[in-house]
Amino acid sequence: MSSYKSILLLFSFVLSAAARPRVLTTPGGPLRGIQARSDCTTVFTATADVNGASVLLETLACSSLSASSLPAITVTSVATVAKTSTVVATATVAPPAPLSVDKVPCNTFCSDGVGQLPPISEDCEVIQGAITTFVGTTAPSFTVAPKSIQQLTFGTCRFFFANFANPKTLSYTWVDFNATASKAGLSCFPPVQPVNSLGLCESVDSTWQVGASHS
């Protein structure tokens, strides 16, 4: 049985045994970060091969404030020793550490605003396989600057993490990214809901989103 179908069976069991997540069907509503933005540009692109299939990894910057990384900041202090001489001391201050949002609660939303159909489950399985590969071969977490999106795309499916309003760079583990995006898809795509093309989990303060959608 494929990994996506295994996850589907697992979450179907869990949801039947516990309270279902709050799912709000709001056509077009929660797309403020993914669609209807004309200022997004691709700042990083890579591909990951999964059993012969190429998954596209991209980072999108959506404003001039969304630098993918901050250089060290040089702070200069001036001390007067005498009326005729000045000593200048410099100190290098590292950028602030990324804010981890692992395990932070989020609310599930569904929408039919990205295309007319949900993504093909087999395409989402390929992305899940790519993320599983990242878990064993890269750092456990990735970072996303403010006003930026990190996404994986294959065929009709896209998994994404979006940091739109948070003033800090956010970090998220690949494991949680896979689990949260998959769970959003399971809540919003067939067989639970047959026509939605987007499932996402949005933070309580509406500053970041994780989800799956039609590409």
Tokens encoding 3: 């990994």
Q: Give the model's pLDDT for residue 63.
A: 66
**Beta strands of the chain (E only): which ranges?**
23-25, 41-50, 53-61, 73-82, 85-93, 99-100, 106-111, 141-144, 148-154, 157-163, 170-173, 198-203, 208-214
Tokens encoding 109: 């939303």
Query: Per-residue pLDDT tens for 93-151?
Result: 666 789 999 999 999 999 887 667 899 999 999 999 999 988 888 899 999 999 999 99
Give every CB contact of residue 126 below 8 A, 6+ residues apart in sequence: 50, 51, 53, 55, 154, 155, 157
Q: Give the model's pLDDT for residue 175.
A: 96
User: Pairing mode, if any, of strands 23-25 and 106-111?
Assistant: parallel
Q: Is the CB of residue 126 less than 8 Å from the CB of residue 178? A: no
User: pLDDT below 50 — which residues of the chain?
Assistant: 1-37, 64-90
| 36 Ramachandran zone, left/alpha/beta (phi>0; psi -120 to 50) | left
The span from the CA of 138 to the CA of 196, in Å, is 32
Q: Any idea what the Cα angle at residue 180 is, between residues 200 and 126, rounded to 5°? A: 95
Peptide bond into 191 cis (omega under 30): yes
Q: 100: burial class by Cβ within 10 Å (0-12, 13-18, 19+)?
A: middle
Q: Give the model's pLDDT for residue 16.
A: 34
Report pTM. 0.71
